[in-house]
Amino acid sequence: MSHHPVAFLFPGQGSQSTGMGKELAALYPVARHTFQEADEALRFSISQLCFAGPDEQLKLTENTQPAILTMSTAVARVLQEKGIVPQFAAGHSLGEYSAHVAAGTLTFADAVRTVRNRGRYMQEAVPAGEGGMAAILGMTVEQVQQVCSDAAQGEVVSPANINSPDQTVISGHQKAVERAAELAKQRGAKRAVMLVVSAPFHCELMQPAQDRLEKDLQVLPFGNPEIPIISNIDATPKTTGEGSRQALVRQVTGAVQWSKSMQTLIGLGVKTFIEVGPGKVLTGLMRQIDRAQTCMSTEDEASMQKVSNLFAAAVKE
């Protein structure tokens, strides 16, 4: 395995849980320092929010985004200290920022402040209750696209996260999303579930958020990533600072091409995927995309040890 490339995958919103990072911060100075760095950059204790909640505060988009980024960065730094380094990376929506921090494109402090604003801008782009999202299971993305155009009736509804061949999340005006979910069921979807979200992410209703975020990203220094980052917007590797910046801008209204991004990495010869940060969402999606791949999550000491053992065994081969 030491001769096969490794990819780090960074989770997005929805993977957070109260208590995340507490154990790792107690065990690893580099993790503890990462949480302290976030607290200093944000001028409030995001570490307290991660370690102890309250849950309803952690769930607010403008807190969730920096919290997950901080947790993922702490985990990535622990892995790198153990000599586990990726040759490629990708991140789901918000996770693309974590990937760029790991690749040195953006400083951690800049990224953590930016995603706090990103969360706020997304929250403020659409009045509460006007937007919605739904997960459609057991339909191809082409079928979902057709359902969306048939259900729109002059409103916005479109694929937002193309997560696996079996799972597409749609986003747009609340009523249009409800119509599309209903129509998907009629046309044979296994399930169509309305999601509990604070805003309709990754659709054209997010344009005001994208415009505000673009201004912030324009003034930040972007380096060239040290490893290629597969971007959500087009599932292709980004190797320049400018290309990375543009991808992060377009990502706000664009669909997350996760399934295609994983196929890109598999095509580049990646055999081992490590989900870096909270939860196991991306590990679950990999099982739907390609069961032959090794994908492991790292969010606590037990999972960290499993990954370390796998790499120790590979080095001996």
23: CATH: 3.40.366.10
Both 185 and 228 in one domain: the answer is no
151: CATH: 3.30.70.250
pLDDT band at 41 (very low <50, low <70, confident <90, very high): very high
Q: What percent of the chain stands above pLDDT 90? A: 95
pLDDT band at 313 (very low <50, low <70, confident <90, very high): confident
pLDDT value of residue 316: 72
Both 156 and 294 in one domain: the answer is no
- Ordered strands of the 237-238 beta sheet: 237-238, 229-230, 88-91, 6-10, 272-276, 294-298
Residue for token pair 């080095």: 315
pLDDT band at 27 (very low <50, low <70, confident <90, very high): very high
Both 168 and 233 in one domain: the answer is no
Both 187 and 69 in one domain: the answer is no
Residue 1 lies in a domain: no
Distance (Å, whole) CA 242 – CA 160: 24
User: Which whole number is the average pLDDT over 123-150?
Assistant: 96
Both 191 and 209 in one domain: the answer is no
Exposed (0-12), middle (13-18) or buried (19+): which is 83, by Cβ within 10 Å? exposed
Cβ count within 10 A of residue 251: 23
Residue 61 lies in a domain: yes
Distance (Å, whole) CA 103 – CA 278: 19
Our count of domains for the chain comes to: 2
User: Which whole number is the average pLDDT over 294-306?
Assistant: 96
User: Which whole number is the average pLDDT over 161-185?
Assistant: 98
Distance (Å, whole) CA 138 – CA 102: 34
pLDDT band at 181 (very low <50, low <70, confident <90, very high): very high
Of 158, 180, 197, the residue at which a domain comes to its end is 197
Distance (Å, whole) CA 80 – CA 59: 29
Question: Which phi-psi region, left, alpha or beta, contains residue 83 (left: φ > 0; alpha: ψ -120 to 50)?
Answer: left
Both 156 and 67 in one domain: the answer is no
Stated as kind and residue range, the H or E segment containing 156 is: none
Both 235 and 109 in one domain: the answer is yes
Distance (Å, whole) CA 278 – CA 300: 9
Both 215 and 68 in one domain: the answer is yes
Residue 70 lies in a domain: yes
Active site residues: 93, 202
Of 176, 197, 218, the residue at which a domain comes to its end is 197
For residue 101, what are its two tokens?
A: 């921090």
Stated as kind and residue range, the H or E segment containing 11 is: none
**pLDDT, tens only, 222-268:** 999 999 999 999 999 999 999 999 999 999 999 999 999 999 999 99
Of 197, 220, 245, the residue at which a domain comes to its end is 197
Distance (Å, whole) CA 32 – CA 181: 43
Judged against a pLDDT cut of 80, whether residue 211 lies above it is answered with yes
User: Which whole number is the average pLDDT over 21-42?
Assistant: 98
Judged against a pLDDT cut of 70, whether residue 221 lies above it is answered with yes
Q: What angle do CA 254, 257, 259 make, to 5 degrees?
A: 165
pTM over 0.85: yes
Q: Report helix, strand or coil for 113.
A: helix
DSSP E strands in 122-261: the ranges are 131-137, 157-164, 167-173, 191-194, 229-230, 237-238
Backbone angles phi, psi at 236, to 5 degrees: -120, 155
Judged against a pLDDT cut of 80, whether residue 1 lies above it is answered with no
Both 212 and 269 in one domain: the answer is yes
Stated as kind and residue range, the H or E segment containing 273 is: strand 272-276
Q: End-to-end CA distance of the chain: give it in Å, rounded.
A: 8
Residue 166 lies in a domain: yes
Residue 187 lies in a domain: yes
pLDDT value of residue 317: 62
User: Which whole number is the average pLDDT over 80-104?
Assistant: 97
| Mean pLDDT taken over the chain | 96
Question: Which phi-psi region, left, alpha or beta, contains residue 283 (left: φ > 0; alpha: ψ -120 to 50)?
Answer: alpha
pLDDT value of residue 196: 86
Residue 191 lies in a domain: yes
Both 239 and 170 in one domain: the answer is no
Residue 13 lies in a domain: yes
Residue 281 lies in a domain: yes
Domain that holds residue 56: 6-125+205-316
For residue 144, what are its two tokens?
A: 């979902």
pLDDT value of residue 225: 98
Q: What percent of the chain stands above pLDDT 70? A: 99
Closest CA to 204 of 146, 250, 235, 236: 250
Both 98 and 112 in one domain: the answer is yes
Both 242 and 303 in one domain: the answer is yes
In sign, the C-alpha dihedral spanning 240, 242, 245, 246 is negative
